[in-house]
Amino acid sequence: MAKGTQGQDVNDPVSPPVHDAPHHTPPSREVTSLGLFLIFARIGLTSFGGGLSGWFMRVFVHERHLISEDEFLNGLALSQALPGVNVKNLAIWIGYRLLGWRGAVVGFCGIVFPPAVVIVLLGVFFSAIASFPLTHVALAGAAAGAIGLSLSMAITAARRLPRRVFPYLVLVATFAAAAVFRVSMVWTVLIAGALSVGYEYVREVRRT
């Protein structure tokens, strides 16, 4: 009797095929409103500027497995394309993804209000010690950390791009328009976003 490569009887119609695909743990959706608020509050109180998105990915994707990496990157792209503060948009999107409208409200409150109180207190504190050189050194170090976290997030997102020429052309063109030629962000997002969406739509129509 013939045997398959996995030692399985290939003539047996009942035996299911054996696959060597890697095992992926499905995301766990068990989270409460209070727990979600505390997660966002902790991230907001212990992060720097643009580095918040990196903390979001580490906590919600890698540590707690509340959402998948693809879901997170889709939300990140959406939050950056919409008006307003990117991190606030991302918090609302993650909260809505996990707990619906209650999660969206919790995400907004958790990422805005606790850090806002601390910012006011730190503003008063730093204004009192602004004359000391060590203060500017500390702020420069915090800025370096924020830039590093943002760069890490950007590299992760770029690695997830489809292995096609057009998405990378849009990536390079967007960077050049914003960082080199100083084109208005409104026009950059509108043009690059419209081209990307149009390209993917046409590609999907042709494929189906």
Within 10 A of 162 (CB to CB), how many other CB atoms are there?
10
Per-residue tokens: 134: 């060590």
Q: Are residues 70 and 126 in the same domain?
A: yes
170 and 152 assigned to the same domain: no
Domain count, the chain: 2
Domain boundary among 145, 160, 175: 160
Task: Give the separation between CA 112 and CA 123, rounded to whole angstroms.
Answer: 16
Whether 104 is in a domain gets the answer yes
Same domain, residue pair 106 and 65? yes
Which distant-in-sequence residues (6+ apart) come within 8 Å of 50 by Cβ? 86, 87, 146, 147, 149, 150, 153
Q: Take residue 200 and report the two structure tokens written for it.
A: 């993917």
Judgement on whether residues 126 and 189 belong to the same structural domain of the protein:
no
Residues 145 and 175 in one domain: no
User: Which helix (H) or strand (E) segment is 89 a member of?
Assistant: helix 86-128
The backbone torsions φ and ψ at residue 9, rounded to the nearest 5 degrees and listed phi first, read -70, 110
The 3-state secondary structure of 155-169, one letter per residue: HHHHHCCCCCHHHHH
Task: Give the end-to-end CA distance of the chain in Å, rounded to a whole number.
Answer: 41
CA distance 86 to 100: 19
Residue 138 domain-assigned?
A: yes
DSSP-assigned letter for residue 10: T
Domain that holds residue 193: 163-208
pLDDT at 169: 93
Same domain, 91 and 175: no
Same domain (yes/no): 116, 182: no
Tell me whether residue 62 is in a domain. Answer: yes
Of all helices (H) and strands (E), which one includes residue 86?
helix 86-128
On whether both 76 and 110 belong to a single domain, the answer is: yes
Burial of 182 (0-12, 13-18, 19+ CB in 10 A): exposed
In a domain, 47, yes or no: yes
Same domain, 125 and 198: no
Q: What is the model's pLDDT at position 18? A: 40
Position 184 scores a pLDDT of 92
Indicate whether 113 and 171 sit together in one domain: no
- The per-residue pLDDT string of the chain (208 residues; one tens digit each, 9 = 90 and over) reads 444 444 444 444 444 444 444 444 444 457 899 999 999 999 988 876 556 888 899 999 999 999 999 899 999 988 988 888 889 999 999 999 999 999 999 999 999 999 999 989 988 988 888 888 888 888 888 788 778 877 887 888 888 878 889 988 998 999 999 999 999 988 998 999 899 999 989 999 998 8
Task: Report the C-alpha gap between 58 and 69 in whole angstroms.
Answer: 10
Inside any domain, residue 149: yes
What confidence score (pLDDT) does residue 29 get? Answer: 57
Are 123 and 179 contained in the same domain? no
Nearest 5°: phi and psi at 188?
Answer: -60, -45
Q: How far apart are CA 39 and CA 58, in angstroms?
A: 12
Does the residue 11 lie in any domain?
no
**128 domain-assigned:** yes
